[in-house]
Amino acid sequence: MRRRRTRVRRPNAAQYDLGILYDKGLGLARDPIEAVIWYQSAADQNQPIAQSRLGMVYLAGGPVPRNPGEAVRWLRRAAEQGVPDAQAALASLYERGEGIARSNKSAYGWYSLAGNAGIAEAHEAQSRLAESLSSPELDEAEAWTAKLAVQIAALASACSPPPAMARARWTGLSASKRPRRSAAMSRMSECRSMALPAVPCSTGCAPRPPDRRPRRNHDGGIGYSPPRSEP
């Protein structure tokens, strides 16, 4: 008797989905603050779409105070994992020098990747920016873009689930034939430790400590839990 295949969504994806339901008021009373809390929970677990969404929230403000530096932090993590909307938004921040040091080279590179992924506005912005660059600057930007694309491809490869593990999960192999879970966990640990070279931030871009998560205040607003004390 063949086992029925059951696709199990990862917990962080479910947390992002719950954030969307609260954000849009789909089947639940609309609650933007609760949505941000769930976005944050998923983003902390390296869910790229949640990271992109959280970055957009910090960029626009509303349920949380507007914070371009925090927006850069989350948009960059999502952009590094290949989210086109995050790449386009990050490019715009680089071009304006908002939340991070201005860099036409970085803006050009991120616009290029987002444009190649189908974001028409990013392609137009890349062409406009190219016209303002000198020939040496454009050559440097093109070289940097090619290097960036290679780094992102390597990061995406490291973050992909091991094929053998995926096959075992969906085909119901016996426990003795499944790949060791420790190998998969080691791979995910490697993924989390990988990052593109850091770029110095402008004033106000210092990242919020990861153990301070959004929470609801007694007055119904949003605040942050205090840092955990060291043991």
Using CA of residue 126, residue 136, residue 99, residue 151, what is the dihedral sign?
A: positive
Does 203 lie in the same domain as 104?
yes
| Contacting residues for 203 by C-beta, under 8 A, at least 6 apart | none
Is the residue at 4 inside a domain? no
Does 134 lie in the same domain as 82?
yes
| Contacting residues for 155 by C-beta, under 8 A, at least 6 apart | 80, 81, 191, 194, 195, 196
Does 193 lie in the same domain as 134?
no
Is the residue at 106 inside a domain? yes
Q: Any idea what the CATH number is for the domain that residue 52 is in?
A: 1.25.40.10
Does 119 lie in the same domain as 91?
yes
Pairwise CA distance, residues 206 & 203, whole Å? 8
Domain that holds residue 134: 11-159+199-224
How would you write the pLDDT of the chain (231 residues) with one tens digit per residue? 455 444 435 567 889 999 999 999 999 899 999 999 999 999 999 999 999 999 999 999 988 999 999 999 999 999 999 999 999 999 999 999 999 999 999 999 999 999 999 999 999 999 999 999 999 999 999 999 999 999 888 877 766 554 444 444 434 444 454 444 444 444 444 554 444 544 433 333 334 444 456 666 655 666 665 544 434
Measured N-to-C along each axis, helices 104-116 and 120-132 cross at an angle, to the nearest 10 degrees, of 150
Does 151 lie in the same domain as 75?
yes
Which pTM does this prediction carry? 0.70
Number of folded domains that form the chain: 2
Is the residue at 1 inside a domain? no
Is the residue at 3 inside a domain? no
